[in-house]
Amino acid sequence: SILTIDSQSLLLVRVTTTDGIVGIGEGVVPGGPWWGGESIEGMKALIDRYLTPLLVGEDLSRVGYLGRKLDRMVDGAEFAKAAVEMALWDACGKSYGLPVYQLLGGAHRDRLPVTWALGAEPADVVIAEARHKLDAGEHRSFKLKMGAGQPADDVARVTAVADALAGQADLAVDLNGSWDVLTAERYLPELAAAGIGLIEQPVPRWDVRGMARLADLLTIPVMADESVRTAHDAVQLCTSGAADILAVKLAKGGGISNVLAVGAVADAFGVPCYGGTTIESSIGTAASLHAFCAMPSLTAGTELFGTLLLSDDIVVDPVVFKDGFLHLPTGPGLGVEIDEDQ
Active site residues: 145, 303
Q: Give one DSSP letter per residue of 140-202, joined into a string.
A: SEEEEE-SSS-HHHHHHHHHHHHHHTTTT-EEEEE-TT-S-HHHHHHHHHHHHHHT--EEE--
Closest CA to 142 of 161, 124, 160, 122: 161
- Rounded CA-CA distance 83/292 in Å is 16
Closest CA to 100 of 273, 236, 260: 260
- Rounded CA-CA distance 254/294 in Å is 17
Q: Give one DSSP letter per residue of 232-243, joined into a string.
A: HHHHHHHHTT--
- Rounded CA-CA distance 188/89 in Å is 41
- Rounded CA-CA distance 30/339 in Å is 23
Question: Are 280 and 303 within 8 A, CB to CB?
Answer: no
Give strand pairing partners of 111.
Answer: 327
What number of other Cβ atoms are within 10 A of residue 338's Cβ?
16
